[in-house]
Amino acid sequence: MTLREFQAAIGATYLDKDSARGLFASFAWLSEEVGELAGALRSGETEALQHEFGDCLAWLASLANMVGVDLESAVARYGEGCPRCGGQPCVCVDREH
């Protein structure tokens, strides 16, 4: 499944429901899932990590659908390495990514 196909599947499944909830209330759900991801990172449990990464990605895709952003196009700027220095790995020295 491509990122675009994933985003379309999330849209078909949740766009109406999430749109009815509203953009900022849906963003709050993403924020909650990021907190749960933090807990999974602390525990290091593979199953929990996979679950929480999936939840975060699903909420991010839903938010992108709500505002009309194609995630595959959005991430394309990282396809050739760091969008600032062009390095792969990044060789920027003035700030961390």
Is the CA virtual torsion 9, 11, 17, 23 positive or negative? positive
Map tokens 């709050």 to a residue: 28
Q: What counts of helices (H) and strands (E) characterise the chain?
A: 4, 0
pLDDT reported for residue 94: 78
Which domains does the chain possess?
Answer: 3-78 (1.10.287.1080)
- Distance CA(40)–CA(49), nearest Å, equals 5
Q: Which of 53, 54, 62 is nearest to 24 (CA)?
A: 62
On the 0-12 / 13-18 / 19+ scale of CB atoms within 10 A, 10 is buried
Q: What is the pTM of this model?
A: 0.88
> How do the pLDDT tens digits run along the chain, 97 residues long?
999 999 999 999 999 999 999 999 999 999 999 999 999 999 999 999 999 999 999 999 999 999 999 999 999 999 999 999 999 999 998 766 5
Find all residues with CB under 8 Å of 85, minimum gap 6, and list them. Answer: 91, 92
Res 96: pLDDT: 60
